[in-house]
Homo-oligomer: A and B are copies of this chain.
Amino acid sequence: MRGMAGWGGFFFSVLNYKTEKYVIAENKRIGVLFRLYQLAVLGYIIGWVFVVKKGYQEREEVLQTSVITKLKGVTLINSSEIGLHLWSAEDYVIPPNGEQVFFIVTNYIETPNQRLGFCAESSKVPNGQCLSDDDCVEGETVIAGNGIKTGSCLNSTGTCEIHAWCPVEYSKRPTEPLLSEAENFTVYIKNFIRFPKFEFSKSNVLDTSDGSYLKRCSYDRERHPYCPIFRVGDLVSWAGHDFQEMAVKGGSIGIHIQWKCDLDKDYSQCNPQYSFTRLDMNLNNSVTSGYNFRYARYYKDQNGETYRTLYKVYGIRFDIMINGQAGKFNIVPTVIAIGSGVALLGAGAFACDMILLYMMNTSSLYRERKFEIINFRFD
């Protein structure tokens, strides 16, 4: 068969098994070193890539998600200033339609019977303060203020007269949260998720035929992980804060729902994990903490004139953030994980060769035996 050429021979020889010829270097140090390296690579592939990182799985980290929320609870406020108010879910949840991001009023400033007219700017607005009429240029907007300057400075308050909804907002925030009982409101959070790549979907609500379960249960990490009903006060305390303290100025709480699913295991092994953080505080300080906004209710009197009640509401905003990862066995990542490990073995052999070839006193012998020279010039 030697010297055989041409396609026939090529085809015939193709069916022979060709394998690298090896040279055995009876050097135990290098041998042990190389075996240890092989063991390390093997340990890495099996232990780290396959067992810990599940490298044989295709990953999906993008998921489709839908959240429905509903609040329950009612509280009666009887303050000397404002009078009697009953707050129920249709009032204190904004927006009312059960979205993923919702806000619960815990404190508020009510300014009733505002009408369009002329009055003094609040003394709390820096740009509205004045010493003379020259400080109040007519037609100019008060920066971060409530209206448009009319051009005159009012001595009584030391602020510009403005064209605005009058009287301007009564700007003292109650030091105690008016809706302190909001702590006991309950929130129902239904989360549906779907991993589109694997066509896997699940919900965080117990799939029970017992209709009353969801009416009386309460979330508990151990006993009721599939009861999605939370007490508002608990949500805040799990985020590491005190509800009554937070309720005064408001704030923002992140409810993280994490779905880490190994789809090679059973459906029941894919469970939601909840965690809670406060979002409106930076690490070092609380300058930017708090959460509030204003809304108005408009009325018309008998003459068709518009007046309104302005609410500045402080409260807790809940952001429900879903993230998830699903993994399922797939041949491509498996091959990539194994293949790249095998290739690394080759890199180790290369390193050992370098040591033997250039860094030992037996190098020349080794080189002689490892390499055979074909000198084409004498061909």
A76 close to B26 (CB less than 8 A): no
Q: Which residues of B contact A64 (CB under 8 A)?
A: 254, 256, 321, 323
A49 close to B96 (CB less than 8 A): no
Rounded to whole Å, the gap between the CB of A302 and the closest CB of chain B is 6
Q: Which residues of B contact A66 (CB under 8 A)?
A: 252, 254, 279, 319, 321
B31 close to A22 (CB less than 8 A): no
Q: Check A101 for interface membership: any CB of B closer than 8 A.
A: yes
Q: Check A103 for interface membership: any CB of B closer than 8 A.
A: yes
Q: Check A203 for interface membership: any CB of B closer than 8 A.
A: yes
Q: Check A172 for interface membership: any CB of B closer than 8 A.
A: no
B55 close to A332 (CB less than 8 A): yes
Known: A16-B26, A370-B19, A374-B24. A214 touches B288 (CB 8 A): yes
B335 close to A344 (CB less than 8 A): yes
Looking at chain A's contact residues, the main secondary structure is: mixed
Q: In A68-97, which residues have CB < 8 Å from any B CB?
A: 68, 70, 72-76, 84, 86, 88-91, 94-97
Chain A, interface size category, equals 35 or more
> Digit string of A154-182 for contact with B (CB within 8 Å is 1, else 0)?
00000000011100000000000000010
Known: A74-B148, A319-B66, A321-B64. A30 touches B1 (CB 8 A): no
> In whole angstroms, what is the CA distance A372 to B352 when docked?
17
> In whole angstroms, what is the CA distance A375 to B53 when docked?
43
Shortest Cβ-Cβ A-B pairs, 5 listed: A339-B340, A339-B343, A343-B343, A17-B31, A21-B21
Q: Which residues of B contact A34 (CB under 8 A)?
A: 17
Rounded to whole Å, the gap between the CB of A82 and the closest CB of chain B is 12
Known: A32-B15, A296-B90, A332-B48. A323 touches B368 (CB 8 A): no
Known: A25-B376, A339-B343. A116 touches B364 (CB 8 A): no
B376 close to A283 (CB less than 8 A): no
Q: In A1-51, which residues have CB < 8 Å from any B CB?
A: 1-3, 5, 10, 13-28, 30-35, 44, 48-49
Rounded to whole Å, the gap between the CB of A286 and the closest CB of chain B is 10
A20 close to B17 (CB less than 8 A): no
| 5 A–B contacts, CB within 8 A, in A order | A17-B34, A18-B25, A86-B164, A90-B295, A336-B336
Binds B, one of A129-137, A236-244, A355-363: A355-363
